[in-house]
């Protein structure tokens, strides 16, 4: 083929590549698809798809052109490889064609197009507004500012999630690893609470003579039930842990009970020494109720006590029927009370023998603490004693008033 | 029509007019096998800042007077269906295996056998890199070759090469095999 021929073909091709017939579809394609092309090192999978569709577009355009002009592929190739086409000016024109075969050429074209569009957009904004908005004046700074903001948000999010995680972790640790200790702790707390509530509720109960003892009783039984359920729900070592606390509570109920009892015997004592404001501490009031007392003797004693407590100086038989009934009721109640105490003590002893066998029998302990505050009494115990004294005094007052 | 299109593309291919022989190599393998590390190692780039590939990377390496265009495509399961879009006109397949990931030997074997059956890779030589040999738990290349039944490959040249993309050990040996093989193959053409 002649040189002129290929020259003519080259000119024709270059002409075509500069014509709207070629430029418009190709530019349209690039402008539409270039936005995903950034200058990251890694390529997106979508680039390949875009490249594929670009290939088919260019092929179609060139096919149409060659058919129109009437040249075949060989002529086209010869023309393109001729020295004339290899000149630098024409190389640039051929770039979009080469891009079909070379992905990296295509990619660089698309990245370039994307940047061109961005610059164009900036120019348009500038033309419209006279000046670029502050956020667009320095691209690099804007980017870093945005990135910094994003980083701040991200760091905050990370910090919070870490905090949450730590909380969750520590909670789980508490639940799992220290489950035993924490539960026993809460148990102790519960029992102390029970103790406190007992003290506080028994104080107002003194206003009503009838309700008073009943209250104490119900509380003690209630707190007993409470303990029992707790103890049952826990393992053996925990029972041991609880039992001293429980003993204390029991002791309290016992002493409160005997306090009540002592108040019953207050009247005759005060009568004896003819001192209306007898101090409860010096009272011989606390007559330890021996568990060995048989029920008949006990009944007699209760009756007598009730009798005296009620302030009836005459012997039981000389009293009126209503008085007798009253006394009998009282006696029955006291008997009930005694039985309760008895049962309590029995249980107490049982637990004491398993947990603290060295401790003295509860009865004597109770008596000792109320009558002669011996040994090393802690401040707490003193407080308890004071409360008991107060209770006894109140009871005494009430009884005397009667 | 289809014929004509292919012809046109081949015409455009020749348009580049480079005297250098170009070789298209596709680098495949499971995720975390070390493909991108190997690619960067080939291109003498930093291998310490590599993250899992979501798309693909291309590097051109000059070796033995040839221009090797190496395509490294992400190996995550969700990307694997895209592999076959990159196999066209491939001169050589490099398949990378994490030699220490014994649990996935079966999976990597399945992926390789599927590739071997691809029409576009018919007769294409395969170089298998038994990567991560720097790890104490790595299986030897011979063991992996046996597991993959490489000896049953009759329709193509194949080679298994123990290497560590991190240290670079064995990588050059593999590349030498590639160049020798390609030269032979192209000469035959």
Query: What ranges do the domains of chain B cover?
Result: 20-188
Residues of B in contact with A75 (CB under 8 A): none
* Residue A48 neighbours by CB under 8 Å, 6+ apart: A103, B56, B82, B85, B86
Average per-residue pLDDT for chain A: 67
Report pLDDT for A178.
55
DSSP three-state, residue B81: helix
CB proximity B14 to A under 8 Å: yes
pLDDT score for B94: 96
Cβ atoms of residues B70 and B42 within 8 Å: yes
> Chain A contacts of B7, Cβ < 8 Å?
73
**A189-203, B18-32, B34-48, B175-189: segment of lowest average pLDDT:** A189-203
ipTM of the complex: 0.85
pLDDT at A22: 92
Q: Is B92 annotated as a binding residue?
A: no
Task: Please choose, from the candidates B125, B158, B121, B131, the residue with its C-alpha nearest in 3D space to the C-alpha of residue B75.
Answer: B131
At residue A271's C-alpha, the angle toward residues A265 and A276, to 5°, is: 95
Give just the sign of the alpha carbon dihedral A71, A74, A78, A80: positive
Q: pLDDT tens digit string along B74-123? A: 999 999 999 999 999 999 999 999 999 999 999 999 999 999 999 999 99
Polymer length of chain B: 189
Query: Residue B22 gets which letter from DSSP?
Result: E
Residue-wise burial string across A57-89, b where 16 or more C-beta atoms lie within 10 A, e elsewhere: ebbebbeebbeeeebebebbbbbbbbebbeeee
Element (H, E) at B64: none
Tokens of A193: 């609470």
Q: How far is A102 from chain B (nearest CA, A)?
A: 8
Is A103 in Cβ contact with B56 (below 8 Å)? Answer: no
* Marked catalytic residue, from B5, B21, B54, B76: B76
Q: Which residue has the higher pLDDT, A74 or A376?
A: A74
Q: What span, in angstroms and rounded, lies between the C-alpha atoms of A89 and A83? A: 12
Q: What are phi and psi of A151, to 5 degrees?
A: -60, -40
Q: Let me know: does B84 contact B18? Beta carbons within 8 Å.
A: no
Rounded-to-integer distance, Cα A355 and Cα A352, Å: 5
pLDDT, tens only, B121-140: 999 999 999 999 999 999 99
Instruction: Provide the pLDDT for residue A385.
Output: 80
Residue of B2, B3, B8, B79 for testing the chain A interface, max A β-carbons within 10 Å: B8
A86 touches chain B (CB under 8 A): yes
Q: A195's torsion region: left (phi>0), alpha (psi -120 to 50) or beta?
A: alpha
Taking residues A242-251, report their average pLDDT: 46
- Higher pLDDT among residues B66 and A375, named by residue: B66
What sections of chain B are H helices per DSSP?
A: 2-15, 35-42, 105-116, 141-147, 171-188
User: Which pLDDT band holds residue A149 (cuts at 50, 70, 90)?
Assistant: confident
Count contacts between A and B (CB, < 8 Å): 63
What pLDDT score does A312 carry? 52
The answer to the question of whether B40 is labelled as a binding residue is no
pLDDT of A351: 63
Give A343's pLDDT tier (boundaries 50, 70, 90).
confident
Q: Is the CB of B7 less than 8 angstroms away from the CB of A73?
A: yes
Report the alpha-carbon distance of residue B144 to residue B100 in Å, rounded: 10
In this complex, which of B8, B53, B85 lies closest to A48 when CB atoms are compared?
A: B85
Q: Measure the CA–CA gap between A322 and A236, rounded to whole angstroms.
A: 53
Angle, vertex CA B71, rays to CA B68 and CA B73, nearest 5: 165
Give A114-151 as a DSSP string: HHHHHHHHHHHHHHHHSS--HHHH-HHHHHHHHHHHHH
Q: Are A373 and A385 in contact (CB under 8 A)?
A: yes
Average pLDDT of the segment spanning A312-335 = 70
Tokens of B119: 């029409």
A312, A327 in Cβ contact below 8 A?
yes
- Mean pLDDT over A134-142 rounds to 60
Tokens coding A117: 């569009």
pLDDT at B66: 86
Q: Please tell me the distance from the alpha carbon of residue A214 to that of residue A208, in angstroms, as a whole number.
A: 10
In the block, residue with structure tokens 């060295």: A358
Reduced to 3 states (helix: H, G, I; strand: E, B; else coil), residue B129 is: strand
B86 touches B73 (CB < 8 A): yes
Dist. CA B28–CA B36, nearest whole Å? 10
Task: Please give the average per-residue pLDDT across B159-180, as a whole number.
Answer: 93
State which residue of chain B sits closest to A52, comparing Cα positions: B85
- Kindly give the pairing relationship between strand B66-73 and strand B56-63: antiparallel
Q: Above 80 in pLDDT, residue A258? A: no
Q: What is the DSSP string of A31-77?
A: HHHGGG----SSBPHHHHHHHHHHHHHHHHHHHHHHHHHT--HHHHH
* A195 contacts A252 by C-beta, under 8 angstroms: yes
A94 CB neighbours in chain B (<8 A) are: 15
Q: What superfamily in CATH does domain B20-188 come from?
A: P-loop containing nucleotide triphosphate hydrolases (3.40.50.300)
| Percentage with pLDDT > 70 across chain A | 50
**pLDDT-based confidence at residue A136 (cuts at 50, 70, 90):** low
pLDDT in tens, A205-224: 444 444 444 444 444 444 44
CA–chain centroid gap for A88, Å, is 73
- A284-315 tens-digit pLDDT: 444 444 444 456 666 666 666 655 655 555 55
Ramachandran area for residue A372 (φ above 0: left; ψ -120 to 50: alpha; else beta): beta
Q: What one-character DSSP code corresponds to residue B127?
A: E
pLDDT digits (tens, 9 = 90+) for B1-33: 333 445 666 666 666 555 568 899 999 999 999
- Which of A43, A46, A65 should we substitute to test contact with B (largest number of B Cβ atoms within 10 Å)? A43
Residue A227: how many other CB atoms lie within 10 Å: 22
Residue of B nearest to A74 (CA): B11
């Amino acid at each position: 083929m002649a040189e002129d021929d290929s020259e003519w073909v080259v000119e024709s091709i270059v002409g075509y590549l500069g014509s709207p017939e070629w430029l418009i579809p190709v530019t349209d394609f690039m402008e539409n698809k270039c936005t995903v092309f950034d200058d990251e090192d890694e390529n997106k999978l979508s680039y390949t798809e875009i490249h594929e569709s670009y290939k088919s577009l260019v092929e179609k355009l060139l096919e149409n052109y060659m058919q129109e002009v009437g040249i075949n592929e060989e002529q086209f190739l010869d023309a393109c490889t001729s020295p004339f086409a290899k000149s630098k000016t024409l190389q640039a024109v051929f770039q979009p064609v080469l891009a079909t075969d070379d992905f990296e050429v295509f990619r660089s074209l698309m990245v370039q197009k994307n940047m061109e569009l961005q610059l164009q957009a900036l120019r348009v904004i500038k033309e419209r507004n006279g000046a670029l908005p502050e956020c667009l004046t320095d691209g690099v700074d804007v980017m870093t500012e945005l990135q910094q903001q994003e980083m701040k948000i991200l760091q905050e999010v990370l910090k919070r999630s870490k905090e949450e995680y730590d909380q969750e972790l520590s909670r789980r640790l508490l639940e799992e690893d220290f489950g035993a200790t924490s539960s026993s702790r809460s148990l102790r707390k519960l029992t102390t609470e029970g103790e406190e509530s007992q003290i506080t509720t028994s104080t107002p109960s003194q206003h009503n003579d009838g309700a008073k003892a009943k209250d104490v009783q119900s509380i003690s039984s209630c707190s007993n039930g409470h303990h029992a359920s707790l103890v049952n729900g826990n393992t053996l070592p925990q029972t041991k842990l609880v039992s001293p606390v429980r003993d204390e509570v029991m002791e309290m109920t016992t002493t409160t009970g005997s306090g009540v009892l002592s108040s019953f015997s207050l009247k005759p004592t005060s009568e004896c020494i003819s001192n209306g404001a007898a101090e409860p501490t010096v009272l011989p009031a606390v007559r330890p109720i021996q568990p060995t007392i048989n029920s008949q003797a006990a009944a007699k004693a209760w009756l007598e006590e009730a009798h005296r407590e009620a302030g009836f100086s005459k012997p039981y038989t000389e009293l009126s029927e209503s008085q007798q009934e009253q006394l009998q009721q009282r006696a029955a109640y006291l008997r009930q009370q005694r039985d309760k105490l008895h049962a309590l003590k029995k249980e107490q002893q049982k637990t004491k023998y398993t947990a603290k066998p060295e401790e003295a029998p509860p009865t004597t302990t109770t008596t000792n603490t109320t009558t002669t505050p011996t040994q090393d009494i802690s401040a707490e115990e003193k407080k308890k004693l004071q409360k008991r004294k107060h209770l006894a005094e109140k009871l005494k007052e009430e009884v005397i008033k009667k | 029509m289809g014929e004509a299109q292919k012809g046109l593309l081949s015409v455009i291919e020749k348009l580049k007019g480079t005297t250098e022989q170009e070789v298209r190599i596709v680098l495949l393998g499971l995720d975390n096998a070390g493909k991108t590390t190997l690619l960067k190692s080939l291109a003498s780039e930093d291998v310490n800042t590599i993250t899992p590939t979501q798309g693909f990377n291309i590097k051109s390496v000059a070796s033995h007077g040839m221009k090797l265009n190496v395509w490294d495509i992400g190996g995550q399961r969700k990307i694997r269906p895209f592999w076959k879009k990159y196999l066209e006109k491939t001169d050589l397949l490099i398949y990378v295996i994490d030699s220490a990931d014994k649990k996935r030997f079966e999976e990597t074997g399945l992926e390789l056998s599927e590739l071997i059956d691809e029409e576009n890779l018919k007769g294409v030589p395969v170089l298998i890199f038994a990567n991560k040999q720097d790890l104490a738990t790595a299986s030897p290349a011979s063991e992996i070759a046996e597991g993959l039944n490489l000896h049953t490959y009759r329709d193509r040249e194949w080679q298994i090469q123990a290497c560590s993309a991190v240290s670079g050990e064995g990588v050059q040996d593999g590349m030498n095999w590639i160049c020798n093989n390609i030269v032979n193959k192209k000469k035959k053409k």
